[in-house]
Amino acid sequence: MAHRTPRGRALITGATGQDGAFLAELLLAKGYAVHAFARRTSGSNLGRVAHLLDGSPGRERRYVLHHGDMTDTASLMRVLAEVQPDEIYNLAAQSHVAVSFDAPEDTANTDALGVVRLLEAVRTLGLTDRCRIYQASTSELFGASPPPQDETTPFRPCSPYGAAKVCAYWMGVTYREAYGLHLSNGIAFNHESPLRGDSFVTRKITRAVARIAAGEREVLRLGNLDAARDWAHARDVVDGMWRMLQQPAPDDYVLATGESHSVRSFVDHALDAAGLTIRWEGEGVEEVGVEPRSGRVLVAVDPSLFRPRETRGMRGDAGKARRVLGWAPRTSFAELVAEMVRADLAAVKSEGETVVSPGIPA
Ligand code: NAP
Ligand code: G4F
């Protein structure tokens, strides 16, 4: 596939998140100047990108931090006017599905109206013809539609998050068709990494497994063990985002592995990667994962973690992305889980080593 020469300046909203960190690395390696749009907070939210801010010589000049918020039109206008980006990757979102049930207005404000503010800012500033936009859409658009899901599958969102992202998707299509904007929706299925936020189920599992392997007497409490997801590596998915913006014409693409695994299976793989095993016993809310030798319960179901509504099993068909973009996921499910467990085992070990004096944790 022929890619255009990189066009210079990329703006990433949601730059401090998992995907923002992987995408920045990819774009810097390709020679882009990367402009990060990030919220100013009282605590630090820059952990995933700190190495880019004060990184190796020369690098810091190509990674520039701008403060702003998707709920604040003025900040979007100011940063867009200043950066004049060639490519915009709109990754900013309240991205947690369970949280969206508790904070539906906040979720819609950022995930749906935030996109309207961004698109209107692009239009008002006269950037429609010069900049290309990636909109972070999601398999949550499909919600109750059964697998396999592709670009033709009906949207039946099951959460305020999914509903807000459906709105954002159609806003993108509307601006593309009404104004000729080069905007592509990447309908990404779940993607994970050691940088995944620790309240998402994969990272919650790998962190707990690492602590259990280190000898902590922890019980991993989970919600729906039967929930099935199509889990890719975030590094592979951000490559698909970039490929979409190198196409002569914008379009919408599913990014997925085509495999589906249950939460229970993720737990098994993670324990295996740490040299542990469990036996599953019981059913429903009584189901537990028991260590065979000691009989100790390592995993239990906590009904308070069930969601008001769950999506159907998720398994994406990325045939269109393969054909048009030449995109394919490179990391297997087993490799992804093993990489996350290795990283969390190392993190637990180094936490243990950073005790500065007896009894006083660093
Ligand atoms: P993430 O780790 O939760 O990162 C979300 C980013 O959005 C963070 O940088 C966060 O900033 C920022 N943000 C939230 N509200 C904002 C606001 N009002 N203004 C400006 N920035 C705001 O998410 P991710 O996993 O990297 O996902 C990236 C995007 O892809 C999201 O839009 C998500 O919905 C979508 N997506 C993700 C997946 C997946 O499996 N990872 C799959 C499909 C789609 P703070 O650091 O300040 O909180
Ligand atoms: O890891 P999760 O919270 O991810 P979810 O809900 O699939 O959403 C993620 O992927 C979407 C892509 O489709 C993104 F759009 C979205 O932004 C986010 O990145 O939950 C995965 C599954 C769910 O079915 C949940 O019910 O795991 C189940 N689960 C079971 N126990 C749990 C838990 N989820 C979480 N977060 N915590 C649990 O203890």
Q: How far is CA 28 from CA 25, 58, 110, in A?
A: 5, 11, 27
CB 200 within 8 A of CB 207: no
DSSP 325-340: I-----S-HHHHHHHH
Mean pLDDT by 10 residues, the chain (362 residues): 62 98 97 97 93 67 94 98 98 98 98 98 98 98 98 98 99 98 98 98 98 95 98 98 98 98 98 98 98 96 96 95 98 98 97 50 31
Q: Could you tell me which of 191, 135, 190, 144 has the C-alpha nearest to residue 165?
A: 135
Helix, strand, coil percentages in the chain from 3-state DSSP, rounded to 5: 40, 20, 40
Give residue 141 CA to ligand 2 midpoint distance, Å.
14
Q: Which atom of ligand 2 is closest in space to residue 221's alpha carbon? A: 39
Q: Which residues contact 324 (CB under 8 A, 6 or more apart)?
A: 247, 251, 253
Give residue 283 CA to ligand 1 midpoint distance, Å.
35
Q: Which residues contact 305 (CB under 8 A, 6 or more apart)?
A: 98, 221, 222, 223, 224
pLDDT value for 352: 75
Give residue 16 CA to ligand 1 midpoint distance, Å.
8
> What are the tokens at 86?
């060639």
In short, whether 104's Cβ falls inside 6 Å of ligand 2 is: no
DSSP state of 227: -
Calpha distance 238→335 (Å, rounded): 18
Any idea which ligand is nearest the CA of 202?
2
Q: Which amino acid is at 146?
A: P
For residue 251, count other CB atoms closer than 10 A to its CB. 16
Four-point Cα dihedral 236, 242, 244, 248, nearest 10: -150
pLDDT value for 353: 64
Any idea which ligand is nearest the CA of 157?
2
Residues tagged active-site: 138, 140, 161
pLDDT value for 351: 86
Tell me how long the chain is: 362
pLDDT value for 360: 34
**3-state DSSP assignment of residue 356:** strand
CB 285 within 8 A of CB 198: no
Residue identified by tokens 């867009």 is 80
Cis peptide before 308 (omega within 30 of 0): no
